[in-house]
Amino acid sequence: MRECEITRDRRDEYDVLHLDGSLDAYSFPKLDQVLSELREHDRIRVVLDCEKLEYISSVALGALIGFTRKARENGGNMKLANMSEKIFNIVELLGFHRILDIHETTEEAAAAL
C-alpha cells in the first residue's frame, strides 16, 4: 500500500484536503498533523476529497470522527467527498456512514459546510 499523500487547497471559507494513497494507522499521523494545524488557525471547515484514496482503516476513520466532533463543537465541520465504492463499503461496513457526512462531489460537500 502507498502511504497517503495530502495536498491542501485553501478556499476563502474552508479547506479541501486531497487524499492520495492509503490512510491507515501508520500514515494517519500525517493527516492528523495537517488537521491539527488547521484547527490551530481556526480553519475548522474542511472537505476531504477521497477520489484517490485507496484504503482507509478503522483507526483513521475514528480519528476523523474525533476531528469532526471537535470542529462541530466550535462552529466548523468536516465533509467527505468523491469516495469510491470500495472506500464507501469500508465506511459503511464499520457504521461510520451514520456519523460522517459523505457527498458525491467536493462542490456538494463544500455547499453543505
Q: What is the pLDDT of residue 79?
A: 97
- Predicted TM-score (pTM) of this structure: 0.91
For residue 10, CA distances in Å to 85, 96, 102 come to 27, 26, 20
pLDDT digits (tens, 9 = 90+) for 47-57: 999 999 999 99
Q: What is the pLDDT of residue 43?
A: 93
Task: Report domain extents, the chain.
Answer: 5-112
In this structure, whether the domain defined by 5-112 belongs to CATH 3.30.750.24 is answered with yes
For residue 83, CA distances in Å to 18, 39, 47, 50, 70 come to 11, 24, 12, 5, 23
